[in-house]
Amino acid sequence: MGGFPASIQAAYEQHRSAVFRRCQTLLKDAALAEDATQDVFMKLAANQHRIENPKAQLGWLLQTATTHCLTMMRTRGRSDSLEARAEGDGEGGGDQGPSERLTGQYEARDFSRKLLEELGTVSRDIALSVLAGDEERQDVATKLNVSRKTVTRKLQSITERAKQLLTRKRDG
């Protein structure tokens, strides 16, 4: 990240791997995750003045990474859907046809997106780090500067909210 202020370069060196892991967890593609990571740090360079507390920088970066990756997934999902329809999506999928598989994928993605959008920043970071990122609770607690007990309580709350959403969806 040559040519950037020292503070941005320091942030890149310190937080690059955490941001990359978040992006890779969400995007499931190392090349896209690398591009997204670069985009997030470009956004940091443009919005550096908004982050008053240096301790909040990692949270801001992870939140920005999450939002950016969800947008990339949404955009990519639309183009993948169009490509699948154009190609006829001839892959086998059990008893499901291409449209049923695509519908199931979109329903799961929409459910996940809705749940993540309802969570606060800390809860969202915990959910993505522990549930999607396969990080240990203590590591997440240390990274987010909260107790391990807080991580556990937030995960219980997230689970309960997910159950509520699923029940509401099932009941109609």
pLDDT 10s digits, 22-45: 999 888 889 999 999 999 998 888
End position of a domain, from candidates 87, 118, 147: 87
Write down the mean pLDDT value for the chain.
78
State whether 4 and 72 are in the same domain.
Answer: yes
Residue-number span of the structural domain to which 72 is assigned: 1-87
State whether 81 and 101 are in the same domain.
Answer: no
Q: How far apart are CA 108 and CA 9, in angstroms?
A: 37
Instruction: Take residue 52 and report the two structure tokens written for it.
Output: 């008053």
Dump pLDDT digits (tens) for 48-57. Answer: 777 777 778 8
Place 113 in a pLDDT band, splitting at 50, 70 and 90: confident
pLDDT of residue 20: 95
State whether 4 and 78 are in the same domain.
Answer: yes
End position of a domain, from candidates 55, 87, 119: 87
Lowest mean pLDDT among 23-37, 99-113, 119-133: 99-113
- Neighbour tally for 43: CB within 10 Å: 16
